[in-house]
Amino acid sequence: MPGSNPLLRVLLTCLVLLAAGRAPAVELPDFTTLVEQYAPAVVSVSARTAAKDAADDPDEDKPGKPPVQNPFEGTPFEEPFRRFFEQMPHGNSPRPRELPASIGSGFVISADGYVLTNAHVVEGADTVTVGLRDRTELIAKVIGADKRSDVALLKIDGAAPLPVVRLGDAEQLKVGQWVLAIGSPFGFESSATAGIVSALGRSLPSDSYVPFIQTDAAVNPGNSGGPLFNFNGEVVGINSQIYSRSGGYQGLSFAIPINVAMDVAEQLKTKGRVARGWLGVLIQEVTPDLAKSFGLDRARGALIGQVLPEGPALKAGLKPGDIVLAFNGRPLLRSSELPPLVGSYLPGKDATLSVFRDGRETTITVKIEELPDDARQAGKAGSGTRRGLGLTLGELPPEAARKGETGVVVREVAPGPAARAGIRTGDVIVRLDNQPVTGVAQFEELAAKLGKGKPVPVLVRRGESPLFLALTPPE
C-alpha cells in the first residue's frame, strides 16, 4: 500500500505539487543587504610609475622609433593590451605616465583612512591613488608592503570619516559556505561576485607562509586586494590570486585569510616590517610509501629533508628523517600546514613539536627564531656502481668534501628500483635507510643490508632542495 512507504509518499506529494504548478521553491542566498552596507568601504587602487615626458627625449617622435613598451607587461593585463600597443603608430604613443601600471582593489579597515590591498598591486609604484565609491580620488601613502604574504597597508587623508568593513574570523570558515567578492575586475568598479569556499589551508608554490582560502567566486584581474565577505557581511579574506590558463577566471580563486592579513598590517603599521618565525628545516610531503618506509601508521605530518646550519631546529636536535606530526599540539595532516604555523609564531618563544623518529613518537622543544632574508642553503653534486638498485654512483668532488658535504652522486639511473623510486641522474644521495652516506663503498655496505621487497627512505639532494624518496630493493 502506497501510504506505508514514507519515500513513496514524498514522491507522490512532489508529483502532486508539480502537477498543480506549486513546486517547492529553492531559496538562494540574497547578498543585496550586504552589498548596500559594505560596498562603499571597497575602493579601487591605481598604482603608477614615473615616466619621462616627450620634452625629455629629443628622439621621441623620430621616424622608425620603436613603439612604446606595453606598460602592462608582466601583469594580468599584458595580453588584453598587447594588440593595442602593437598596432599603435610609433610617433603617437601615449605617455606611459598616463596609464596605470597596476589596477587593483582594496578596502577600508578604519575610519581614519587605513586601507588593505595586495602588495603586488602597489609594487614599484611612485604614486598610488585610491578611488572611493563617490568617485573621490585620493593619493595614498604606502605604509608598508610584505611580499611573502602579498599584503600592503595604505593610508589616505583628507576625507571625512570613511565607511569601514567589518572583520571576521577566517578560522571559522567551513568548506561549502557562501562567500562574496567585491572589487574592480578590469576596472569595472564595485563588481560583486558570489561563490562558495572550495577548500581551506591551500599552499601555493610561491607562498608557503599563507594558508589560502580557495573559492569559486569569480575573481579576475583588478579584483586583487579586494575583500572576500562571508554571508554575515564580515571580511574573511583578501582576494589575491587566480589559477588560470587563459588569464581570466576559471573557477579557482585564492584569498589571504583576514587573520593573517591583519597580523601583517599591524606589524607594518607599528614596525614597518614583518617578523616571522623560523624553524630552520626544509620539509616535504609524507607519501603512503614513505610512511610505510619509516614505519609510520599512515601518511601524515611534515618530513624533514634538511636541517639548516645554525638554525633553531639544529640547536634543538632535530634530524633529517624526523617527521613532525604536530606543532604546539596542533596535528599536521600535510606538510604545507607547518610553514604558516611557524611563520605566525612569535620569534623568541618556545614551541613544542611532536616528532616521529626511529619508530616512535617523541616531544622536542624548539626556540623559534626570526626568519632571515635567505633561509635556504645550496647543495652540490660530482663516479662506482650498485647494479641491484639500477644505480651508477660517483664520489663528491673535492671542493664539496672540503665544504663538509657528504653523500654520493648519481651518475646514471637504469630501469629498476631506483628509477621507480624517482631517483634521477645528478641527485646526491645523502642518507640511505636513515643512515648517513659518506662514500660509494659505504653506500654499497648499507645497500647490501637492506631487506628485500621492503621500502626504505632515501634522502637525496636535488639542486638546492632535499627530497626523501621511498626505495624498494628487489626481492
- Which residue is listed with cell 609594487? 123
Count of alpha carbons within 13 angstroms of residue 420, beta-carbon side: 14
C-beta separation of 391 from 418 below 8 A: yes
- Which residue is listed with cell 645554525? 310
- The x, y and z cell numbers of residue 266, run together, are 599591524
- Which residue is listed with cell 600535510? 334
446 vs 444: CA distance, rounded Å: 5
C-beta separation of 60 from 104 below 8 A: no
Q: Given 46, 146, 149, 150, which residue is catalytic?
A: 150
Angle at 334 between CA 333 and CA 338, to 5 degrees: 100
Sign of CA dihedral 439, 440, 445, 449: positive
Give first-to-last CA distance, the chain, whole Å: 64
- Which residue is listed with cell 593573517? 260
C-beta separation of 241 from 137 below 8 A: no
- The x, y and z cell numbers of residue 344, run together, are 605566525
- Do the bridges between strand 166-167 and strand 234-242 make them parallel or antiparallel, or are there none, so unpaired? parallel
Rg (CA), the chain: 28
From 463, 438, 276, 434, select the one nearest 376 (Cα to Cα). 463
From 369, 353, 364, 190, select the one nearest 276 (Cα to Cα). 369
As beta bridge partners, residue 391 has: 386, 413
Q: Given 224, 253, 293, 354, which residue is catalytic?
A: 224
Angle at 390 between CA 389 and CA 396, to 5 degrees: 90
193 vs 182: CA distance, rounded Å: 7
Count of alpha carbons within 13 angstroms of residue 386, beta-carbon side: 28
From 322, 319, 323, 343, select the one nearest 332 (Cα to Cα). 323
Identify whether 120 is a catalytic site residue. Answer: yes
Residues 6 or more apart whose CB falls under 8 angstroms from that of 400 comprise 380, 381, 382
Q: Given 120, 184, 253, 433, which residue is catalytic?
A: 120
Catalytic residues: 120, 150, 224
